[in-house]
Structure 1
Amino acid sequence: MAHTAVDLNRLSAMDTREASRLLKGVRAAALAGDPPPAAPRPDIAASWRRMLAGGVHPDRDARSRMLSLAETEERRQLSPLREILPVLREGLLPALDGALHIMVVADADGRLLWREGASAILRRADRLGFSVGADWAEGVVGTNGVGTALVTRRPVQVFSAEHFVSSHHDWTCAGAPLHDPRDGSLLGVVDVSGPLATMHPATLAWVSSVARLAERELRVRHLESLERLRAVAAPILARLPGRALAVDGHGWTAAVTGVTPVDRLPLPKGFGPGRVWLAQLGDCGVEPLPGGWLIRIDGARTGGAAAGRVVLDLSRPRGWSATVYGAAGSWSQELSPRHAELLFLLADCPRGRSAAELAQELFGDPTRTVTVRAEMSRVRRHLAGVLAHRPYRFAEGVEVELIRPADPRTLLPHSTAPSVIRARVGRGGPGVIP
């Protein structure tokens, strides 16, 4: 005899203790293989089957190693999720204090990177191990709004004893996955959790709506980045004979000349400057652009590194730039104070520097590698093909011209980096780093 699945609206209308008793009876029957008083909801039943097959203990609160503060911060800095935190906060936080909920944002591994909300609930969550740096993957802590949403890639709500592990039965949670609109990859999950008494079937729709708004924000930012790439690429394409196109790092087209536009061009793994064979285009020459690539179809052979020369101009106060010269022409990228410092340090040491060495030169502290790696990741997005890593350096075959201010005392005046301070007492004027 088939049993009717648990109905969320019916549950929310019940007394909290009555609803909890019903769900505990459903779970106990499922674990024992007995006929349940009601069928578990399909997503919950599927998750329980995964937990049983994976050996997750239903009554033991297992936890994996917490991320260190440095590891957490590095994940935060490198994650696209940090760009949409304002949208998530605006959509969820105003209602959380009154509702006794908390908001958590986890990455695609199930690691909690951000957590905010009612202070009393945050303290209760700490006792459960539901804190920043914790691993809430389904295979570690059982059925839950973070880990199960990551597995199913769909929004999921988990009430009381629908959590596979019994220590979570006093909680309710609703999680919605967050995807990167550029390539559809899973970025993580936003979840709203709280005590069982706060359960409401509409919570999932609310969290899902905010997640879709956040994904829309990522899409808007992507379109803006394509516009910036188009502004740089258009004059270069106008000067080129033959066929060419400019694409971003995910293959989305910003501008074309001589070819039929396509929305997106599949790029192979390890795509970079030089000669590349692309299934849709054939043999192509690839050169770096800020935030993307210039692809010349049957174009002039570029040999190794397509960028032959970089001029790092630090001569103007707060007007620092990097100009890249390649076979197809040149383009310039304005530099932030931090990126100007980093490029100066690399130009000053052609052999390259490790993250620890850059941290020592920037901050006098070799342990601050998290900040260095995050900043180098950002600057390399703009100077793809120009910079290499392991160690960080200008790519082989790229000539670097460093233009210093006429008065060396005005070199990067904001900087307290030891290398910059030493350079201020040296000579000024232009120089070439071979």
Structure 2
Amino acid sequence: MSPREVARPVIAESWQRSLAASVDPDRHEAPVVFAPDEVADLRGEHPLAAAVPLLRHTLAMDETIMIVTDTAGTILWCEGDNKTRHSAERVHLTEGSRWSEDAIGTNAMGTALATGRSVTVHSNEHLVRKYHTWTCAASPIRDPHTGTLLGVVDVSGPLKTMHPAVAPLVSAAAQLAEHHLQTHLRPRRPVLTLNFLGGVAASLDGRPLSLTLRNAEVLTALALHPRGLTAEQLALQLYGERGNPTTVRAELHRLRAQLGTVLLTRPYRLNAELSGDFLDVRTALREGRTVAAYPGELLARSDAPVVREERDDLAAALRRQVIDSGDVDALVSFADGAEDAEVLERLHTLLPAADPRHALVSSRLRRALE
């Protein structure tokens, strides 16, 4: 049977994709890509693990196997009566094998993944002839919060034993699984990264954002006030007493064009997992940990009160940490370009007289004390 002879478009299109991937109808068999211990690790990390007991209960039938795959088409769970499982194992229909279309051609699991829709593949609709004695029905399962595809659930069995009611049952089971996951999966929040030490760089889920200095100031204020701020409070944080809430609302409107639903209102706040260099430094200093890197001041050109206050606080706390640490290299780096008498005195004490830097520090210390 050629793709043109197949009556159903979904199968014909799948055959075309499979043949384009160089799947050989006479020679191919599903590749086993993971060992049992690796499958166990994948199961433990997979979000569909929470739905497997429900699927197992719903789809338990004689002379069939229930299969759950990940988005790559890898079988993570394969359960059913022993006789059918033994038959399935002989054709690599087993845990750890991959059933994507490009790996094994047209099959319900791979085609459901490729199309995002429920699919039944009967007998010789399978591209690979080895599977013509099997019929399978599969439905995709999506994250109920994001719509992201998580994998598929499938029921497979010998051609003679598969009842027509299996396909709608599998589809219903997938819907039940999604409903179950709605209460068991926490919705993933986008990741907003703010790197404002020594420059202005930000990204949302890895996508770079194009920010003005004022944008960065707004984001700094909201990052430092996770519970949110009103337009009036933001105006005070950004402009001081001369701040105008109308101006702030206009800034927020422009920023929302890049952030979308990450920027919430009433009050204004960020609905995201926040990360960033100044936040990391802030946390390290509060926890008494050594700051690993400090590429520069927080938004050095900003005169916004909220930024200026945080910048001064970070600099003061970092200065104290460096002085107390007695780390010569950190002190030298911190003293670079700054005539800070206390830092220079600490360096003067720690540096051996034979160190070439000692004379330079002595000279700078005299100037700082004049």
Identify the TM-score tier after normalising by the shorter chain. Answer: 0.5 to 0.7
The answer as to 2:47 corresponding to 1:111 is no
> Aligned to 1:86, which of 26, 29, 53?
53
> Aligned to 1:212, which of 164, 170, 175?
175
Aligned residue number for residue 104 of structure 2: 141
Matches within 5 A, 1:33-432: 36=5, 39-93=6-60, 96-97=61-62, 100-222=63-185, 249-251=188-190, 268-270=204-206, 283-284=219-220, 294=226, 296=228, 303-305=278-280, 308=283
Q: Which amino acid in structure 1 is aligned with residue 19 of structure 2?
A: L
**Contact between 1:183 and 1:250, CA under 8 Å: does it hold in 2?**
no
Would the alpha carbon gap of residues 249 and 159 (structure 1) be closer, same or farther in structure 2, given more than 3 Å must change?
Answer: closer
Distance, in Å, in 2 between the alignment partners of 1:268 and 1:190 is 32
TM-score of the aligned structures, taking structure 2 as reference length: 0.55
Distance, in Å, in 2 between the alignment partners of 1:278 and 1:112 is 50
**Contact between 1:179 and 1:188, CA under 8 Å: does it hold in 2?**
yes
Gaps of 5+ in 1: 1-26, 226-247, 253-266, 311-324, 327-346, 352-398, 400-434
Report the count of equivalent residues.
236
Would the alpha carbon gap of residues 276 and 167 (structure 1) be closer, same or farther in structure 2, given more than 3 Å must change?
Answer: farther
Distance, in Å, in 1 between the alignment partners of 2:45 and 2:214 is 29
Would the alpha carbon gap of residues 196 and 160 (structure 1) be closer, same or farther in structure 2, given more than 3 Å must change?
Answer: same
SS, match of residue 79 in structure 2:
strand
Distance, in Å, in 2 between the alignment partners of 1:276 and 1:305 is 22
Distance, in Å, in 2 between the alignment partners of 1:278 and 1:150 is 44
Would the alpha carbon gap of residues 276 and 199 (structure 1) be closer, same or farther in structure 2, given more than 3 Å must change?
Answer: farther
Q: Which amino acid in structure 1 is aligned with residue 279 of structure 2?
A: G
Distance, in Å, in 2 between the alignment partners of 1:164 and 1:214 is 29
TM-score of the aligned structures, taking structure 1 as reference length: 0.48
**Contact between 1:277 and 1:284, CA under 8 Å: does it hold in 2?**
no
Distance, in Å, in 2 between the alignment partners of 1:177 and 1:282 is 41
TM-fit CA distance, 1:49: 1.3
Would the alpha carbon gap of residues 201 and 41 (structure 1) be closer, same or farther in structure 2, given more than 3 Å must change?
Answer: farther
Q: Which amino acid in structure 1 is aligned with residue 92 of structure 2?
A: G
Distance, in Å, in 2 between the alignment partners of 1:276 and 1:206 is 54
Distance, in Å, in 1 between the alignment partners of 2:168 and 2:88 is 23
Q: Which amino acid in structure 1 is aligned with residue 182 of structure 2?
A: R
Would the alpha carbon gap of residues 251 and 169 (structure 1) be closer, same or farther in structure 2, given more than 3 Å must change?
Answer: same
TM-fit CA distance, 1:74: 2.2
Would the alpha carbon gap of residues 285 and 171 (structure 1) be closer, same or farther in structure 2, given more than 3 Å must change?
Answer: farther
TM-fit CA distance, 1:270: 4.4
Would the alpha carbon gap of residues 277 and 283 (structure 1) be closer, same or farther in structure 2, given more than 3 Å must change?
Answer: farther
Would the alpha carbon gap of residues 51 and 270 (structure 1) be closer, same or farther in structure 2, given more than 3 Å must change?
Answer: closer
SS, match of residue 181 in structure 1:
coil
**Contact between 2:31 and 2:92, CA under 8 Å: does it hold in 1?**
no
Distance, in Å, in 2 between the alignment partners of 1:304 and 1:79 is 30
Larger radius of gyration: 2
**Contact between 2:140 and 2:174, CA under 8 Å: does it hold in 1?**
yes
Distance, in Å, in 1 between the alignment partners of 2:214 and 2:68 is 37
Distance, in Å, in 2 between the alignment partners of 1:276 and 1:135 is 47
Q: Which range is displaced more, 83-92 or 67-76? A: 67-76
Q: Which amino acid in structure 2 is aligned with residue 305 of structure 1?
A: D
Distance, in Å, in 1 between the alignment partners of 2:214 and 2:167 is 43
Aligned residue number for residue 411 of structure 1: none
Identify, as 1 or 2, the structure richer in helix.
Answer: 2
TM-fit CA distance, 1:136: 0.7
Q: Deviations over 1:138-169 (max 9, x none)?
A: 11111111111000000000110000100000
SS, match of residue 69 in structure 2:
strand
Aligned CA-pair RMSD: 3.9
Identify, as 1 or 2, the structure richer in strand.
Answer: 1
SS, match of residue 146 in structure 1:
helix
Distance, in Å, in 2 between the alignment partners of 1:61 and 1:287 is 54
Would the alpha carbon gap of residues 276 and 195 (structure 1) be closer, same or farther in structure 2, given more than 3 Å must change?
Answer: farther
Structure 1 moving runs of 4+ over 6 Å: 275-279, 299-302
SS, match of residue 308 in structure 1:
helix
TM-fit CA distance, 1:89: 1.3
TM-fit CA distance, 1:294: 3.9
**Contact between 1:102 and 1:117, CA under 8 Å: does it hold in 2?**
yes
SS, match of residue 283 in structure 1:
helix
